[in-house]
Chain A
Amino acid sequence: MTREEIIKPENLVYSKTKVLTDTVMHYCPGCGHGTTHRLVAEVIDEMGIQSETLGVAPVGCAVLAYNYFDVDIAEAAHGRAPALATAMKRLRPEKFVFTYQGDGDLAAIGTGETIHACNRGENITIIFVNNGIYGMTGGQMAPTTLEGMVTATSPYGREQQFNGHPLKITELVAQLPGTYYVTRQAVYTPALVRRAKKAIRQAFEYQKLNKGVTFVEIVSNCNSGWKMSPVKANEWLEENMLPFYPLGDLKVPEKE
């Protein structure tokens, strides 16, 4: 097939979703952010809510998410996205409001904002990408860094006695009565991508019910920060991250 034939609409099997802009993403090859962006954008597109969606970007690797999501979107200070989203949803309750945050942003500097937005039961969706490291600043230890994991600021491996335990923030927010749907997903295989997309769709659908925070963690890799090839990073993710951060739903609505 020639290029001309391929790009004919009837032959098209895959194309960029319209809720992503044409801006070239800065993410490292092999990183889960690109896939996660795409899933969120596809869900917004398929639900037909592009004009009804307001986003909040974090500080961290996804700091430039506002250039990629083709929705009206604000860039928050580090960790403060849930505070922005709280006000946005309260002032425009008819809109879909989501934050997109990493683990340093959401589980370290923004812990307070995360816990209290979840505990108040704000009707927002939080997309939480957990790669166990501060990627953008060059691979430093995060609250989610696994025990023994080597990072730029735990060069001999994270020591529990010295650095404390990795924080399971998703388990924590699932305990709060203000969260309605809490799930942990991954995007490193096609099957998992499909499952993650369903979860993100569910999270946005549930926002219509006004029953509290819907929270989707994506356990992801950071091949640059982990200093591994993309393939090796995905293997490492499966062998090390998933036993500590097991995939699946942590909280699903009770059947009414």
Chain B
Amino acid sequence: MAKEIKLMKGNEAIAEGAIRCGCDGYFGYPITPQSEILEYLTAENPYPKTGMVVLQAESETASINMVYGGAALGKRVMTTSSSPGISLMQEGLSYIAGAELPALVVNVVRGGPGLGTIQPSQADYFQTVKGGGHGDYRLITLAPASVQEMYDFVELGFDLAFKYRNPVMLLSDGVIGQVMEKVEVGEYKPRWTNEYIAKTYPWALVGKPESRGHNIITSLQLDPVVQEKVNHKLQAKYKVCEENEVRYETFQTEDAEILLVAYGSSARICQKVVQLGREAGIKVGLLRPITLWPFPKKPLLELSKQVKSILTVEMSAGQMIEDVKLAVECKVPVQHYGRFGGMIPTPTEIFEVLKTL
């Protein structure tokens, strides 16, 4: 069958990816720069076709708790928002992580702090990978750098969420959300049947049959001895995830003496910087983390033995740089270049910084 190619915004690709991968429910609240997701879904109206529920909630707080409720049933449910809305969801994310439920959350990041700006940013890195809510938990974090990845990572996000019974965050930004690119879309996949869920996910709330005790979804353990065990179990799970789910991409690093590290739209910009550098005779390469948690520590440590210096480029005041420094164990100097508050760096300004290294 011929490939189906569409020209779409990143936000629309999220919505299309959700419908086509067999998502059961979307619960969201409008916020710029990602409102197209909810608009696209309500216009497509997938319920009569696939049974996918699309509901506009009264707040981001309600959205994430609707996701919590849906996830408790073993359903593939998601929400999307942008930075201020994601801040409101942190309580719910902590509960979902604590209750070990699979869920997908998309953050199309905008500039902050506070109401900030509606322009693109990457300043929610700390909130996402260091745990924005309370307690020791992790979000599996995927950072799409193209509209195609916005589409692809919806299904990948659900797969990882159910594999690890853990919430997954797609950390995008206003550039990737708003830009239009070609997308190769996949086949429509059917939603899981209730019978399949009951059989495959024995923890799911499906209605207690005579044959088993009641299923409970909770993050509460009043006994600290038990709560510590719960935390050990979570940490063991995160360790397995760190061993198996690191994703990254390298670009002209084979002979690189200077390494750029950037994710999302910053990585796209840095591809051009690598080209400019190479044309000027600078041996520069790029490592793009695709998973921000788990972070690609090992490949960075390997490359640190080869390169003379590292430059992280982020649309923030410097957040991921901390993880890069930890990964390379201070074996090489690591510097940061960032624009923030909604500003996007140009390849030439990064190239100017590159020349000083």
Contact = CB atoms under 8 A, between A and B. Distances in A.
A67 interface: yes
A87 B207 contact: no
A84 B214 contact: no
Contacts of A52: 207
Nearest to B25: A91
Contacts of A66: 216, 218
A95 B69 contact: no
Q: Which of A21, A74, A113, A116 has the most CB of B within 10 A?
A: A74
Given A71-B208, A74-B217, A90 B25 contact: yes
A51 B216 contact: no
B211 to A, nearest CB: 10
Contacts of A40: none
Interface residues of A, number: 35
Given A86-B55, A88-B73, A91-B53, A76 B65 contact: yes
B125 interface: no
Given A88-B205, A91-B75, A77 B92 contact: yes
B206 interface: yes
B83 to A, nearest CB: 21
Contact of B62 (A51, A74, A113): A113
A51 B210 contact: yes
Interface in A67-121: 67, 69-77, 80, 83-88, 90-92, 95, 112-113, 116
B215 interface: yes
A86 B69 contact: yes
Interface residues of B, number: 40
Contact of B24 (A71, A80, A91): A91
B180 interface: no
Q: Which of B53, B207, B219 has the most CB of A within 10 A?
A: B207
Contact of B69 (A56, A64, A71, A116): A56
Contact of B208 (A51, A57, A83, A87): A51
Contacts, number: 127
A70 B69 contact: no
A70 B58 CA distance: 31
A83 B207 contact: no
Q: Which of A66, A74, A80, A87 has the most CB of B within 10 A?
A: A87
B62 A75 contact: no
Interface string B57-69: 1110111011111
Contacts of B27: 87
Q: Which of B57, B65, B92 has the most CB of A within 10 A?
A: B65
Contacts of B62: 80, 83, 86, 112-113, 116
A31 interface: no
B281 interface: no
Q: Which of B67, B205, B206 has the most CB of A within 10 A?
A: B205
Interface in A185-222: none
A72 B207 contact: yes
Interface in B54-112: 55, 57-59, 61-63, 65-70, 72-73, 75, 77, 91-92, 95, 99
Nearest to B205: A72
Interface string B15-26: 000000000110
Contacts of B73: 54, 87-88, 91-92
Contacts of B326: none
Given A88-B73, A90-B53, A67 B216 contact: yes
B114 interface: no
B214 A70 contact: yes
Interface of A: 21, 50-54, 56-57, 63-64, 66-67, 69-77, 80, 83-88, 90-92, 95, 112-113, 116
Interface of B: 24-25, 27, 53, 55, 57-59, 61-63, 65-70, 72-73, 75, 77, 91-92, 95, 99, 194, 205-210, 213-220
Query: What 4 A-B pairs come out closest when comparing CB atoms?
Result: A84-B69, A83-B65, A87-B69, A75-B218
8 contacts: A51-B207, A51-B210, A53-B208, A54-B73, A73-B216, A76-B69, A84-B69, A113-B61
